[in-house]
Amino acid sequence: MDRGQKRKLPVKCEDEGARFPLDELDQDILERVLSWLPTSTFFRNTSVCKKWKFVADSATFKLACSQVPARDPWFFMVDTQPHLNYNPFVFDSTEKAWKKLNLLPLLQENEYQASCSYIIPVAASGGLICFHGAPGEFIACNPVTGSCHQLASLDSHMQKSNHLLAIAMIPTTSSLKIVSVSGEYCKNLWAYGLVCLPVIGSVCLPINSFKYCIGSLVNEVQWVMLNPV
């Protein structure tokens, strides 16, 4: 890196009191500072000015965010009845408050409108939600940043069967693993990445890398915590 290209330190403003213009901050420093903000605070502050708003789209900002060691968790609540006006509730543990995200426009913007009528959330992990539409069709979605990504269609076994027994999603820093178990009991076991226990009509939600929670989306079956490791 050419050190000579680095910015000069902001000159102190003698008459304006002791305020410093963060606006004059190097973009790189601004991104690094904002990457430390809790999620809600970051999005609230997109209305500070245009520069702060556009930070959200920057690739280097996303990289900076991924280097922040830990954030307070968000807990997603999924609706048991799939319907058109699906909006997930989220518990933001930083602000200790419930928030209602508006997800439908997001899926529509991302051209999944056609499948919206039967799209249901099936797994959530690491701040991402996985939706299941047509058989074999999965969409991973970051409800906060608004990015959606249709995953490569799962194999033909999966497409023939509408019975999704269990699913888990494990995002890592560079990729996303989806584990799904479908078919009748374990006959058509379809899985890759990790093995998870099949329970009829259930979802398998990873709580963290070691704990999973299995329960039903359809019936009011008791939720069971699993600790496979």
Instruction: Please name the residues in contact with 162: beta carbons below 8 A apart, sequence gap of 6 or more.
Output: 135
Give yes or no for residue 63 binding another protein (CB under 8 A): no
Give yes or no for residue 151 binding another protein (CB under 8 A): no
Helix (H), strand (E) at residue 107: helix 104-109
Q: How far is the CB of 124 from another protein (least distance, A)?
A: 17
Instruction: Please name the residues in contact with 104: beta carbons below 8 A apart, sequence gap of 6 or more.
Output: 84, 85, 86, 87, 116
Give yes or no for residue 54 binding another protein (CB under 8 A): no
Rounded to the nearest 5°, which phi and psi values hold at 17?
Answer: 70, -150
Nearer to another protein, 35 or 202 (CB): 35
Give yes or no for residue 208 binding another protein (CB under 8 A): no
For tokens 């420093």, the residue is: 29
The one among 15, 18, 85, 229 contacting another protein by CB under 8 A: 18
Q: How far is the CB of 206 from another protein (least distance, A)?
A: 24
Its sign, for the CA torsion 217, 91, 147, 181, is negative
Nearer to another protein, 8 or 187 (CB): 8
Question: How many CB atoms are located within 10 Å of the residue 43 CB?
Answer: 14
Amino acid at 70: A
Site stretch for another protein (CB under 8 A), options 8-16, 126-134, 155-163, 216-224? 8-16
Give yes or no for residue 99 binding another protein (CB under 8 A): yes
Q: Residue 149 and residue 139: Cα distance in Å, rounded?
A: 6
Give yes or no for residue 33 binding another protein (CB under 8 A): yes
Give yes or no for residue 46 binding another protein (CB under 8 A): yes
Q: Which two tokens stand for residue 150?
A: 């249709």
Site stretch for another protein (CB under 8 A), options 95-103, 155-163, 202-210, 212-220? 95-103
Nearer to another protein, 64 or 196 (CB): 64
Nearest CA-CA partner of 181 in 153, 172, 171, 194: 194
By CB under 8 A, name the binding residues for another protein: 3, 6-10, 12-13, 16, 18-23, 25-26, 28-29, 32-38, 40-53, 97, 99-102
